[in-house]
Amino acid sequence: MTHYTIPNLLTALRIVLIPAVVGLFYLPYHWSGMACGLTFALAGITDSFDGYLARRLGQVSPLGAFLDPVADKLMVAIALVLIVAHDPAWYVTLTAAVIIGREIAISALREWMAEIGARRKVAVSALGKFKTILQIVGLSMMLFRDDLLGLPIYDLGLALTILAAVLTLWSMVVYLRAAWPDLSGETQA
């Protein structure tokens, strides 16, 4: 199977857009925040389509299964670092730390669960998907930075991102509870 499938190309596009987001974030023009937020939103939209298209077109691949979560985590982590650099308020920093910390913990949990053959117990849930949508929308708005039509886009994005952080913790508890019998040694391998 070729690596140049539509889903893999969408995932690669998401990775390529990361330096574009960083560059746009630091440009000294009045439109750079808007361009940064919209570019991040575009990258987030590709996340919705790559997995769907992989399944729909029968183009699921090991490369895609590896790259997709890597692209997601890189994209979110870079956006959070940029936002904290711009607004180091304690609640922004704490929100970023919660989201990044959870991603690291759940990635490690999924890797360990896969090693013992129990990966399905910590598969992505509907809660996780909803959390991701809130996160992408919130971060896009925070990267946009400027008010739009009198709406405080940054503040609305911050509220959504904080809500996403709360859901992040909740979903982590759900995953840890599902994995607890294996983590605690209560199940036989």
Could you tell me if 48 and 135 are in contact, meaning their C-beta atoms sit under 8 angstroms apart?
A: no
Query: pLDDT tens, position by position, for the chain (189 residues)?
Result: 567 888 888 888 999 999 999 999 999 999 999 999 999 999 999 888 887 787 888 788 777 778 888 899 999 999 999 999 999 999 999 999 999 999 998 888 888 878 877 767 777 778 878 888 999 999 999 999 888 999 999 999 999 999 999 999 998 888 888 888 887 777 654
Could you state, in order of their start, the residue ranges of all structural domains in the chain? 6-183
- CATH class in words for 6-183: mainly alpha
Is 187 strand, coil or helix?
coil
